[in-house]
Amino acid sequence: MPTTRVPLAIPYLCALASIVITGVSCGRDAVAPTRDIAPSSLSAAGKPAGVAVSSASPSFGDRGTTVDVHVFGTGFTSGAEATWLLHGAADPSHVHTNKTTVLSSTELVANITVAADAQLAFWDVQVALLGGKNGVGSELFEITSAQILGSGTPGGSINGVFKGNDLLQVVGSANGGKTGSVAWLYDEQLGMVNLGSGEARGIDPLGMAALGANGNSAATVWMRQPDNSWHAQALPAVAGSVGGMVTSATRVAGSTLIGVGWQDLSGPRNTTQRIPVAWQLGAGGAWSAPQLYVVPSSLSGTGLRATDVNASGQTVGRNDSNGGIVWETPTTYTVLDGNAVAINPSGTLIVGQRSGDGGAVFWWRDPGTHQWHLPAVAIPSVGGASCPRGVGRDVNDAGIIVGWSCSAASSNTPTVWHLDLSVSPPVLAAPVVALPGLGVKNDIAAATTITNIAPYVVSGEVSISNSQRVAVRWRVQ
């Protein structure tokens, strides 16, 4: 059934027109005139009461923008001024307050300009009264390079951002409330497109199809129509299948679209067996029956699924028992010592997660022997040895790995690792990089996909509040 485009409406957020746009204002409309300060802001002796700063909205701002920020707290009086501090010191050359307008004893509006080279970090917000008293809200405002794609559905929250392509299209799923998950696709021209119930996890490199599963857990492809609507079609299933999913897609031999993923088969005593499969779109528009990948005995019966495929047909897979595999063809493979999540387009790097402490890893292919080297090479988390958890979610031919890693006991941070491919084995070419979010600390966030064409664009998911997550992207050098 044809689907419709979903408009976005997110308070305090600016629409993302292009990845190269940097001077976008994310502020509210013009600030209302200053109102009389409530008597409660004065003590019984007529002197200003203590001033405190509790929150800021929005709680983030982009580099190179001017934005109105509503600052909340207590004890604000006429003539109060707001200042942004980094590590306790004002830095007006990078965050400059143009005007402070006091609305009440508990709210003011600061019009600020963020410089294009302002440090990506959480900044303090200070409110100083005319009498000299001041209050500081610690790390209430994040300067970020994350740009919002959209929420997937109006008022909804992103469940996941899964795959992207070099056309800057991204697919994922969102919380649809009582209707369950909603599949979505972001497109530069079409904006955020609601594909209907289900999850979209794979994207055609040419932008003509999104792939995943519908609301009935059947493997599904959404094909783009000439009028830019999207037609959902359930893919052929293995006999006895009770569900399936397409997790990745590519074009082989230059034009043939294939998708990889899994089928769930009904087993004895209400059990299911998950098997890795691939589908291929024929010249006449019909999809092939699922082709099964050969599964080694060491990984059989463990819920193995295909997770990513490149244009050479190389496919990686993982299970729920920290086992991984790379298939050169559906019948030839190498078993890996950890979960394999993604493979780069040239087939020389695989990223994922190691067994044991759950840290991020990569595997590299020897340029001479063409063999995959084991064991996996560990890469550090943002938090270092005391917090090693992480996972590589995608990798490109330049050796840039994206994913998440631990930065504190309760947070997953979008993370970038850059490998030096001029040496064997590859090593980190630069320190691990934590990508900024949208003003929510201790977020459970991730970078999930990266383009293979420079300038490299990373997409992922972060929280904009304690109850809402959004799809974002960052530009990395």
* CATH number for the domain that contains residue 362: 2.130.10.10
Core vs surface per residue 426-462: b (16+ CB within 10 A) or e: beeeeebbbbbbbbbeebebbbbbbbbeeebbbbbbb
Report the pLDDT value the prediction gives residue 272, as an integer from 0 to 100: 84
178 to each of 196, 215, 463, how far by Cα in Å? 13, 12, 21
C-alpha to C-alpha distance for 188 and 19, rounded to whole angstroms: 9
C-alpha to C-alpha distance for 42 and 295, rounded to whole angstroms: 74
Report the pLDDT value the prediction gives residue 22, as an integer from 0 to 100: 33
Report the pLDDT value the prediction gives residue 231, as an integer from 0 to 100: 97
Taking alpha carbons only, the member of 464, 466, 469, 4 closest to residue 231 is 4
User: Tell me, what amino acid is at 464?
Assistant: I
- Within a domain: 52: yes
Which of these three, 90, 121, 144, is where a domain ends? 144
The answer to whether residues 446 and 158 touch, using CB atoms and an 8 Å cutoff, is no
- Within a domain: 319: yes
| Residue 205 and residue 110 share a domain | no
- Within a domain: 81: yes
| Residue 275 and residue 131 share a domain | no
Which of these three, 80, 115, 144, is where a domain ends? 144
The H helix count followed by the E strand count for the chain is 0, 37
Choose the weakest-confidence range: 180-189, 279-288, 403-412: 403-412
| Residue 229 and residue 132 share a domain | no
pLDDT in tens, 6-29: 333 333 233 323 322 233 333 323
The answer to whether residues 148 and 161 touch, using CB atoms and an 8 Å cutoff, is no
3-state secondary structure 304-323: CEEEEECCCCCEEEECCCCC
Residue with tokens 């006429």: 78
C-alpha to C-alpha distance for 236 and 345, rounded to whole angstroms: 27
- Within a domain: 271: yes
- Within a domain: 28: no
Please name every residue paired with 55 in a beta bridge, in sequence order, or none if there are none: 72
Task: Order across the sheet with 349-354: list the strands.
Answer: 338-343, 349-354, 360-364, 377-378
Q: Does residue 129 surpass a pLDDT of 60?
A: yes
C-alpha to C-alpha distance for 213 and 324, rounded to whole angstroms: 23
Report the pLDDT value the prediction gives residue 303, as an integer from 0 to 100: 86
**SS3 category, 245:** strand
Count of other CB atoms within 10 angstroms of residue 271: 8
| Residue 356 and residue 219 share a domain | yes
Higher pLDDT, 48 or 459: 459
C-alpha to C-alpha distance for 181 and 248, rounded to whole angstroms: 19
Query: Are β-strands 60-62 and 134-144 bridged in parallel, bridged antiparallel, or unpaired?
Result: parallel
Count of other CB atoms within 10 angstroms of residue 49: 17
| Residue 274 and residue 219 share a domain | yes
Report the pLDDT value the prediction gives residue 153, as an integer from 0 to 100: 57
Higher pLDDT, 344 or 270: 344
C-alpha to C-alpha distance for 299 and 305, rounded to whole angstroms: 10
Share of the chain above pLDDT 90, in %: 75
The answer to whether residues 248 and 272 touch, using CB atoms and an 8 Å cutoff, is no
Report the pLDDT value the prediction gives residue 348, as an integer from 0 to 100: 98
Core vs surface per residue 75-109: b (16+ CB within 10 A) or e: bbbeebbbbbbbeeeebeebbbbeebbbbebbbbb
| Residue 186 and residue 335 share a domain | yes
| Residue 270 and residue 172 share a domain | yes
Which of these three, 118, 144, 170, is where a domain ends? 144
Domain of residue 126, CATH code: 2.60.40.10
Q: Does residue 319 surpass a pLDDT of 80?
A: yes
| Residue 160 and residue 64 share a domain | no
| Residue 159 and residue 134 share a domain | no
Measure CA of the first residue to CA of the last residue in the chain; give whole Å: 41
Core vs surface per residue 248-264: b (16+ CB within 10 A) or e: bbbeeeeeebbbbbbbb
Report the pLDDT value the prediction gives residue 155, as an integer from 0 to 100: 54
| Residue 207 and residue 71 share a domain | no
Q: What angle do CA 410, 416, 422 make, to 5 degrees?
A: 145
Contacts of 382 (CB under 8 A, 6+ apart): 405, 406, 407, 413, 415, 432, 434
Q: Does residue 228 surpass a pLDDT of 60?
A: yes
- Within a domain: 301: yes
| Residue 311 and residue 248 share a domain | yes
Taking alpha carbons only, the member of 455, 442, 338 closest to residue 391 is 338
424 to each of 271, 348, 428, how far by Cα in Å? 45, 12, 12
Q: Which two tokens stand for residue 273?
A: 């067996």
pLDDT in tens, 414-440: 999 999 999 999 999 999 999 999 999
Count of other CB atoms within 10 angstroms of residue 348: 20
Taking alpha carbons only, the member of 173, 176, 277 closest to residue 222 is 173
Range(s) of the domain holding residue 301: 148-476
Residue with tokens 């999540």: 341
Choose the weakest-confidence range: 216-230, 247-261, 267-281: 267-281
Report the pLDDT value the prediction gives residue 266, as an integer from 0 to 100: 86
Q: Which two tokens stand for residue 189?
A: 């021209």
Count how many domains the chain has. 2
Report the pLDDT value the prediction gives residue 268, as an integer from 0 to 100: 76
- Within a domain: 20: no
| Residue 207 and residue 101 share a domain | no
Per-residue confidence band for 70, with pLDDT thresholds at 50, 70 and 90: very high
Task: Order across the sheet with 272-280: list the strands.
Answer: 241-252, 256-266, 272-280, 291-292
Report the pLDDT value the prediction gives residue 409, as an integer from 0 to 100: 66
160 to each of 183, 290, 470, how far by Cα in Å? 10, 25, 9
- Within a domain: 353: yes
Per-residue confidence band for 5, with pLDDT thresholds at 50, 70 and 90: very low
